[in-house]
Amino acid sequence: MSNYHIKNLEEYFQVYRKSVRDPETFWEEIAEENFLWRKPWDRVLEHDLTQPAVRWFQGAQLNITENCIDRHLYARGSKTALLFEPNDPSEEPQHITYKQLHERVCKFANVLKEQGVKKGDRVCIYLPMIPELAIALLACARIGAIHSVVFAGFSSTALATRINDCDCSIVVTSDGGYRGAKTIDLKGIVDEALEHCKGVTTVLVVKRIHSEINMHKGRDIWLQPLLDEASSVCPAELMEAEDPLFILYTSGSTGKPKGMVHTTAGYMVYTAYTFKNVFQYREDDVYWCTADIGWITGHSYIVYGPLANGATTVLFEGVPSYPDWSRFWAVVEKHKVNQFYTAPTAIRALAKERLDFSENHDLSSLKILGTVGEPINEEAWHWYNDNIGKKQCPIVDTWWQTETGGIMISPIPYATPTIPTFATLPLPGIQPALMDEEGNTLHGNSVSGRLCIGFPWPAMARTIWGDHQRYKDTYFSTFKGYYFTGDGALRDTTGYYRITGRVDDVIIVSGHNLGTAPIEDAINEHPAVAESAIVGFPHEIKGNALYGFVILKETGEQRDPANLRKEINQIITEHIGPIAKLDKIQFTEGLPKTRSGKIMRRILRKIACGETDQLGDTSTLLNPEVVDAIIKDVL
């Protein structure tokens, strides 16, 4: 495995140069040496980023589950693949070996087949963080069905939109889920959603919390009895390299959520390669990523990347605060976790709690710490480094996106010297570029601009489900021939990258990607609301929080602002989910608009951030007078 495991900075630069000089040979060697192919490719790469049309390993045939499971059976059959840590610490953890995982995936796959699911069909998965979630993904992949996982914190409306967008006829869910001291009525949410999803004929229900639920006759079926009857032999479907593996929705700055389509071979090669290098995984390590499988982080770095490497990957059902804020560290100690990957928002929340929560646990197994989802601030970085890593564990600040499929810019432990707040250097094969607003490439160091990627990489999303034009318009039209990330970044004097945040109307709240438009659409559904605008403002724990400026309809009626605020957040919870609730809601008479009628969010953002001395020229606005009125009432 010549270029599989990078060990020092010199080697990184060598490998990086090679990957850029001759990307095809670089990825071909990795693909050849590390995976199981049923038929080799005819061409490594065909690409045209203006269309965009990108094909990796065209002509190859494979099944990703054979790579993630079957090929490990001989050497690692009794090794733990999934290590399930339940919400309740007194419930026994489950060590699911590769052999058991194989059997459970095959049985589940056979159940899907019996329910009529065929290659290319979309299967919606709406499950809590239990083993069946990972198994459901793999069962779909086994038979070539396309999974569309919807994070179980999303509301029924959000779920219905996603089910309908890609025409799922089957949903996999559970009677409910545990989340700290609470239980979540997932089946109830599915029932509500399905009132608006006429295409769904089958709901498979996992029993988790043993609650009383309504089983819709002719539609809902308990999963376990079907699994008990199913055969544990299920030959893997032969997939073409570019057959879709899954759809995962992400919010955009406008319009409905975008169903990003990831395909099979490139995604597998890239997630496996980056997992191995970024986490320096060694046989017998225990790796834990705290994300939910409902997000891309969970797809790529709980399920596919680790399993493709034959790793032991922890699947945690709970939350960091239950039964108390020591939970993460208790789990690290209990399972002797070696690599720990979490989000800055979790670190900030933990850093606010008493230090003895971590001090009372043995964290000496830890070797590598990771973060993902948003920029990590310096204070949080140091807290993590000092108290969790004890200054002995490299911190990998990994920048990437749902669209990129895998980690793009990140230190490689022991090779890349880290600097707090810097994602540092591009991984091999990744060619970042910074652009100014006119579309000129900014060369050299000490520059900042819009972050783009100038060459295809194997795990990039290939399209938006059902809307290739939107894919092209959103990502490939701002800068011709480049993928535009939507983020701003700077490159320092040494060539290190620091991600400075979104340059569009997407706001990252607690590491969740939220588009302003869908939230505004939800608020505007309230009968008393005429118009609204959402901006982000800095928040100690969440990174950003949401500030809503709301214009009420003139009805002559007096309404209680406190009640209205509650109702508005209720509507947002129903349409999107509690993650999108507003921290502040200011009622106002008007919103600053350009002469063409566009809301000037830039001005609202400054006001929400308390930077009213930096508003710049407001005289060109259609209604400059509203700015003073808004400032006067700012919350």
Q: Considering only 61-69, 94-102, 366-374, 597-605, which stretch makes contact with ligand WT7 by CB under 6 A?
A: 366-374
Selected binder of ligand WT7 within 55, 208, 502, 601 (CB under 6 A): 502
Q: Could you give the CA distance from residue 482 to residue 472 in angstroms, rounded to a whole number?
A: 11
Interface with ligand WT7 includes 271 (CB under 6 A)? no
Question: Interface residues for ligand WT7 in 415-454 (CB under 6 A)?
Answer: 423
Residue 98 belongs to what H/E stretch? helix 98-114
Interface with ligand WT7 includes 486 (CB under 6 A)? yes
Interface with ligand WT7 includes 298 (CB under 6 A)? no
CB of 404 to ligand WT7, least distance (A): 7
Q: Could you give the CA distance from residue 470 to residue 554 in angstroms, rounded to a whole number?
A: 37
293-298, long-range: CB within 8 Å, 24+ apart, which pairs?
293/129, 293/133, 293/134, 293/137, 293/149, 294/149, 294/150, 294/151, 294/152, 294/153, 294/154, 295/151, 295/248, 295/402, 296/248, 296/250, 296/400, 296/401, 296/402, 296/405, 297/341, 297/372, 297/373
Classified as helix, coil or strand, 520 is helix
Tell me phi and psi for residue 47, to 5 degrees. Answer: -155, 150
Interface with ligand WT7 includes 398 (CB under 6 A)? yes
Selected binder of ligand WT7 within 499, 507, 509, 534 (CB under 6 A): 499
Question: Interface residues for ligand WT7 in 512-551 (CB under 6 A)?
Answer: 513
> Any residues with CB less than 8 A from the CB of 446 and at least 6 apart, and which?
491, 492, 493
Give one DSSP letter per residue of 172-208, joined into a string: EEES-EEETTEEE-HHHHHHHHHTT-TT--EEEEE-S
Selected binder of ligand WT7 within 265, 453, 508, 576 (CB under 6 A): 508
Interface with ligand WT7 includes 487 (CB under 6 A)? yes
| Count of beta carbons in the 10 Å neighbourhood of residue 290 | 21
Selected binder of ligand WT7 within 252, 298, 373, 592 (CB under 6 A): 373
Could you tell me which of 444, 341, 446, 447 has the C-alpha nearest to residue 400?
Answer: 341
Residue type at position 605 = R
Q: Which two tokens stand for residue 546?
A: 């949401």
Interface with ligand WT7 includes 505 (CB under 6 A)? no
The smaller minimum CB distance to ligand WT7, of residues 298 and 310, is found at: 298
Selected binder of ligand WT7 within 80, 250, 416, 516 (CB under 6 A): 250
Q: Could you give the CA distance from residue 420 to residue 381 in angstroms, rounded to a whole number?
A: 6
Selected binder of ligand WT7 within 157, 280, 297, 424 (CB under 6 A): 297
Selected binder of ligand WT7 within 69, 296, 464, 523 (CB under 6 A): 296
Q: Considering only 211-219, 291-299, 578-586, 603-611, which stretch makes contact with ligand WT7 by CB under 6 A?
A: 291-299
Q: Could you give the CA distance from residue 53 to residue 49 in angstroms, rounded to a whole number?
A: 6
# residues near ligand WT7 by CB under 6 A? 22
Q: Considering only 236-244, 382-390, 479-487, 607-615, which stretch makes contact with ligand WT7 by CB under 6 A?
A: 479-487
CB of 375 to ligand WT7, least distance (A): 4
Q: Considering only 2-10, 396-404, 428-436, 596-604, which stretch makes contact with ligand WT7 by CB under 6 A?
A: 396-404
Interface with ligand WT7 includes 122 (CB under 6 A)? no
The smaller minimum CB distance to ligand WT7, of residues 283 and 473, is found at: 473
What b/e readout covers 84-112, taking b as 16+ CB neighbours within 10 angstroms? bbbbeeeeebeebbbbbbbbbbbbbbbbb
CB of 423 to ligand WT7, least distance (A): 5
Selected binder of ligand WT7 within 61, 148, 385, 401 (CB under 6 A): 401
Which residues lie near ligand WT7 (CB under 6 A)? 250, 295-297, 372-375, 397-402, 423, 485-487, 499, 502, 508, 513
